[in-house]
Structure 1
Amino acid sequence: MLLDILGQLDPYLVAAVLAAVLTLDNTLLTGLVVPADASIILAGTALSGPGEIALVAAAGTLGCLLGASGGWLLGRRYGMRVRRSRAGRWVGEHRWARAERIATGAGGGPALAAAHFLPVVNSLTPILAGALGMPYRYFIRWALAGGAAWVTVYLTLGSLAGGFMRENAHLTVPLAACAALLAVGLAVISRRTRAARAAGGSAPSGAAGAAPEAGISAPGGSPEPESASRPPR
């Protein structure tokens, strides 16, 4: 069983692999292929106590620090060329726009920290922060705080889920099926929501072909007095 194999891994090995994954996530955008959230939760299933969670969380936070710094430097060096590149277009403009709102929005530092909990967007925010000229000290302070919280929370959830599944192995298949259905449902809802927004944004503001108000103008273009329709006395 996969959980049994993960449970036998050395926590130091798990810590090293997770640090590498999170470093590449913000620098080379590997999270677009292998979501970092899933990687953290999977790492958590290999852990069995607060001590192991603390060790791997420290390594994961270091990975977030290195990755966020690399992403910021990438954006600082190449600016919006990353966004307009082939890989950037593959990401999707709607994701770039969402990350840009976080990097420039009124939410400030707390929004930067919370961006770690947004899949894909968390990989784009450091690049945009660098491209938009956000000071490194300001950016990295909040990125580090958000990364530490993100890694710790997801490792803890993964550890709890792994322990539960080991004790209730007979529920593995039903729970996996429910999780898959939930993921598919959320993906469909998200896609339909984006499509509805796109259709709404392109719709005309007024109803086409609306009839002109009566009595405003005559067919020739000059105003038609109301008395014109009255019979002569």
Structure 2
Amino acid sequence: MTVSAVNPTDSASVLAAFGALGVLVVTFAESGLIVVGFFLPGDTLLIPAGVLCAQTDSQAPRMALWQVLVCGAVGAVAGGQVGFLLGRRGGRTLLARTSNRRLKERAARAQELLARYGQAKALVIGRFIPMLRSVLHPAAGALGVPTRTFTLWATVGGVLWSQSLVLAGYGLGASVPRIGDYVLVMVAVLVVLSLVPLLVQVRRTRHIRQPPSG
């Protein structure tokens, strides 16, 4: 597959073309580049990457597990730091000028998460919430989260998120025969499952905003 034919929103395409390097680039962008992060696979890249590490072809792994683990951790942590710095330097201005309703909603939700759980817990929990993690780190910078606090807990969250999903995929690939043949189906299932928390939150928000009857 040539680079020009790669679909960056398709995890199977990214992994086939770039392997572990694709994991690094996508996790970096999704964790820190708020404009493009919404459209990139995260959970749906890490789990299939782990699955492919467990598959063998002529007794040789298709991707090395240690490379995927390292690339996932580096991409997640470095991307989070870049997002934090971007948010600190221009996050409030961007939110004030943007007309993107979804971006404003995600930023408001990130602020709510930081207020409800505290900075440390929010930075760890937010890593596991699709779409929110793309805005959480810039929002933390814009809202003045201390650099030391952010660096510590964003690193903990990034490592836990990336390593747990890759290892979950690896365990699945090692225990289920020929599951690598169904990566596309598995990605579709993961996309649906990743949207469930968002749908629950939207429904809860609408219920809160709905005026009481009578």
TM-score by length of 1: 0.67
Over 3 Å counting, the alpha-carbon distance change for 1:112 and 1:182 in structure 2 is closer
1:32 paired to 2:48: no
CA contact (8 A) 2:89 2:142 kept: yes
Q: List aligned pairs for 1:1-233, cutoff 5 A.
A: 14-29=19-34, 30-48=36-54, 52-86=64-98, 88-91=100-103, 93=105, 95-164=106-175, 166-167=177-178, 172=182, 176=185, 180=189, 183=192, 187=195, 191=199, 194-195=202-203, 197-204=205-212, 207=214
Q: State the AA in 2 paired with 1:145.
A: V
Per the TM alignment, residue 145 of structure 1 is displaced from its structure 2 partner at its CA by 1.0
Alignment gaps of 5+ in structure 1: 208-233
Q: Deviations over 1:171-199 (max 9, x none)?
A: x49x949x649928x85895476246425
Q: After alignment, is 63-72 or 100-109 more displaced?
A: 100-109
Q: State the AA in 2 paired with 1:183.
A: V
Per the TM alignment, residue 202 of structure 1 is displaced from its structure 2 partner at its CA by 3.4
SS of the residue corresponding to residue 34 of structure 1 reads coil
How many equivalent pairs are there? 194
Q: After alignment, is 81-90 or 126-135 more displaced?
A: 81-90
Cα separation, 1, equivalents of 2:82 and 2:24: 14
Over 3 Å counting, the alpha-carbon distance change for 1:145 and 1:9 in structure 2 is same
Over 3 Å counting, the alpha-carbon distance change for 1:83 and 1:41 in structure 2 is farther
Q: Deviations over 1:65-98 (max 9, x none)?
A: 21111111111111323334547423351x3222
Cα separation, 1, equivalents of 2:87 and 2:190: 37
Larger radius of gyration: 1
Q: After alignment, is 95-104 or 187-196 more displaced?
A: 187-196
Alignment gaps of 5+ in structure 2: 1-11, 56-62
SS of the residue corresponding to residue 47 of structure 1 reads helix
TM-score by length of 2: 0.72
Per the TM alignment, residue 110 of structure 1 is displaced from its structure 2 partner at its CA by 2.7
Q: % of aligned pairs identical?
A: 27
Cα separation, 1, equivalents of 2:191 and 2:26: 26
Cα separation, 2, equivalents of 1:31 and 1:117: 14
CA contact (8 A) 1:53 1:152 kept: no
Q: State the AA in 1 paired with 2:209.
A: G
Cα separation, 1, equivalents of 2:195 and 2:117: 28
Other-structure match for 1:215: none
Cα RMSD over matched residues? 3.7
CA contact (8 A) 1:113 1:146 kept: yes
Cα separation, 2, equivalents of 1:189 and 1:25: 18
Cα separation, 1, equivalents of 2:178 and 2:47: 18
Per the TM alignment, residue 200 of structure 1 is displaced from its structure 2 partner at its CA by 4.5
Cα separation, 1, equivalents of 2:128 and 2:210: 31
CA contact (8 A) 2:173 2:179 kept: no
